[in-house]
Amino acid sequence: MHAEIRVETDDFNIAKEWAAMRARLGGRAGAVVAFAGIVRDHAGTEQVNGLFLEHYPGMTEASIGKILAKASDRWELTDTVVIHRIGELGPRDQIVLVLVAAAHRGDAFAACEFIMDYLKTDAVFWKKEHRPDGDSWIGATGRDRERRNGWEADAR
Amino acid sequence: MNSAASTVVTVRFFGSLRETVGRDAVDLDVDDACIAGVRKRLASLLSADELQALSGQGVRVCVNQTIARGNVEVRAGDEVAFLPPVTGG
């Protein structure tokens, strides 16, 4: 399985990544599922002016690699790409892209959701929210952990 | 343990801990080549509050990007990192 992981400050171009994946796939995959995460302008009822994302070069990529390996153990995947942005991001900015290709759509849909749920809890990133009343470092939410733990329960 | 060769390690801080201690990295010559030795050496650089933050809930210590369980040994050139709980992507 081709597994590509990029952590970068620059924005990504979904069409370009999609085309590159299709070129690699040839006729092996019948399904590609894409997820793009966008920075919201709010968290609950509070306004958010932007985010700062920090990573640990090397360790962050390795943590994403583990997630992709886990997904690949569970489903028949042909190709995966994860692009995650770091640094200062504003509302409406793209923050993450997950592309998953598989022979059949069921595997691609499920694996894409799985990868995203694990990224939200296990990937080595630290996130600071800029709010009107100041900045604060945030943790993974209870809802994110529940979603991740749901996959663990499924596996048992 | 006493050796003539010095053990210089790079200590890195991330996220909220980087802000708390006011630096992202520092090179330390440690007498006692283990995590406890690194903490002891940090005690001479940081305030009590800053030092306490490094032992805060959920803080993980890594040596060469691998989570260290317990008071593991460090060697010259190692990278020791203090990581607050990750937010995820």
State pLDDT tens for residues A15-69. Answer: 999 999 999 999 999 999 999 999 999 998 999 999 999 999 999 999 999 999 9
Q: Which of B18, B84, B88 sits opposite A120 (nearest CB)?
A: B88
Query: Residue A23 CB: number of other CB atoms within 10 A?
Result: 8
CB within 8 Å: A95 and B84: no
Q: Which residues of B touch A122 (CB under 8 A)?
A: 86, 88
| Alpha carbon distance B3, B43 (integer Å) | 22
Within 8 A by CB and 6+ apart from A14, the residues are A34, A36, A94, A97
CB within 8 Å: A84 and B89: yes
The reported pLDDT for the residue numbered A42 is 94
Strand (E) positions, chain A?
2-8, 31-38, 42-43, 46-47, 50-55, 77-85, 87-89, 94-102, 125-131, 134-138
A14 touches chain B (CB under 8 A): no
The reported pLDDT for the residue numbered A60 is 98
Q: Which of A56, A125, A139 sits opposite B81 (nearest CB)?
A: A56
Within 8 A by CB and 6+ apart from B34, the residues are B71, B72, B73, B74
Q: Which of B18, B81, B87 sits opposite A138 (nearest CB)?
A: B87
CB within 8 Å: B87 and A140: yes
**Over 60: is that where the pLDDT of A77 sits?**
yes
State pLDDT tens for residues A106-131. Answer: 999 999 999 999 999 999 999 999 99
Please tell me which residue of chain B has the smallest CA distance to A60.
B65
B84 touches chain A (CB under 8 A): yes
Mean pLDDT of B60-65: 98
> Which long-range contacts link B75-80 to residues 24+ away (Cβ below 8 Å)?
B75/B7, B75/B9, B75/B33, B76/B5, B76/B6, B76/B7, B76/B8, B76/B9, B77/B8, B77/B9, B78/B9, B78/B10, B79/B9, B79/B10, B79/B11, B79/B12, B80/B9, B80/B10, B80/B11, B80/B12, B80/B35, B80/B38
CB within 8 Å: B89 and A123: yes
Please tell me which residue of chain A has the smallest CA distance to B84.
A126
State pLDDT tens for residues B15-43. Answer: 999 999 999 999 999 999 999 999 999 99
Query: How high is the ipTM of this complex?
Result: 0.92
Mean pLDDT of B70-75: 96
Whether residue A53 contacts residue A126, with contact meaning beta carbons closer than 8 Å, is answered with: yes
Whether residue B65 contacts residue A102, with contact meaning beta carbons closer than 8 Å, is answered with: no
